[in-house]
Structure 1
Amino acid sequence: MRELSRRRSKGRFVRTLRPVELDQLIRSHRRLRLSLLITVTAIAGLVVFAVLTDSVALTGIGPATGVLIGTILVLPQRRLLARLGLSPEEARLVLEMERERRSGAPALTPAARARRESVRGALFTLVGLACVVAFVVAASYFFGRAGQTVEEDAPTDPWFAASFFIGFAAACTAPALLSQARTHFRTARSWRGED
């Protein structure tokens, strides 16, 4: 019989899972992240291959293939969440609470937790700013070359295509990283009692 007890986390009630269910959720989440990493690496390799070989055929099927791959990757996770009776938000909270429990964070003093969150916020800020710099460099290269005429038989400039993808990835990643940094700094302030 399923446990129906609930714990309060960040103002929300989260159902407590049995150890077997929690282990299934953790393993499923780990498999999902690993398959996502492998898929993104494979797609990046295909994009590089398409750019280097001037293959236009691969770009036409890209969006549909991406949607299909994403759907296939998420299906087992969604089935497990439905079986466990969890929404994606509740599963995320359960995984976050378990990660925090395993890290030993509950045993830390509030000052140590505030310090830890401040360090995390600083790291996310540095990586986010590095993404902003990468975006600026990639965008200036891309837009600097975009209006130039090119000879018909001239070799393809692989950096032109790479600058587009690097700039796009940096433009998508930087706001998320900076938002995460702000969240960590806000958490640090709350542990210090400043909020």
Structure 2
Amino acid sequence: MTCTLRSVVNCGIVLGILDLLHALATSGFYAYQLASHYNCRWNHGIRWCQYYMYETNHNLRVNVGIGEGVVCLVFACLLMVGLCKYNPVLTWLWLFKALAVVVVNTYFLTGWLLQRSRHYHQFWDRHNYDQDNNFLLASACLTVIEVFIMFVFCCVAGSFTYKIRKQRVPTMETDI
């Protein structure tokens, strides 16, 4: 059974929409964390919340996470445009973003797990542990989802590039 270029493009568009939803989830989670820590509802006050975010490296992760979500939105749109315009170079550019997201998430996830293993946070209360678990779970889930999308993307983009080169479809690179 052979698939057509149109079906490969449609599959890529669905993949782009999934990546767009992933980017919105990333931005939403980290924006919520930013808002909840600057509107601290815990009994120890805003100064403790800011110290907690700085000490656990969550402050940096929140800022990087919001930026990651915005960059992912842009690259998801570029992926869909590249597929619609039959531009394999623009389509494969998305892979750099996916690799960067996986590396950033793995870096923070590894750092948090190493911190947790050192037991430096024994003075925290239950809210701090719950917050730390939220960051760990979100980072792990976002990384697994991005790896899955990246795996499917490599299959789709490889097929897309092959179909374009085989059928000699005019692209933005060449004017036929």
* TM > 0.5: no
TM tier relative to shorter chain: 0.3 to 0.5
Structure of greater Rg:
1
More RCO (CA 8 Å, sep 6+): 2
Q: TM-score, normalised by structure 1?
A: 0.39
Larger strand proportion of the pair = 1
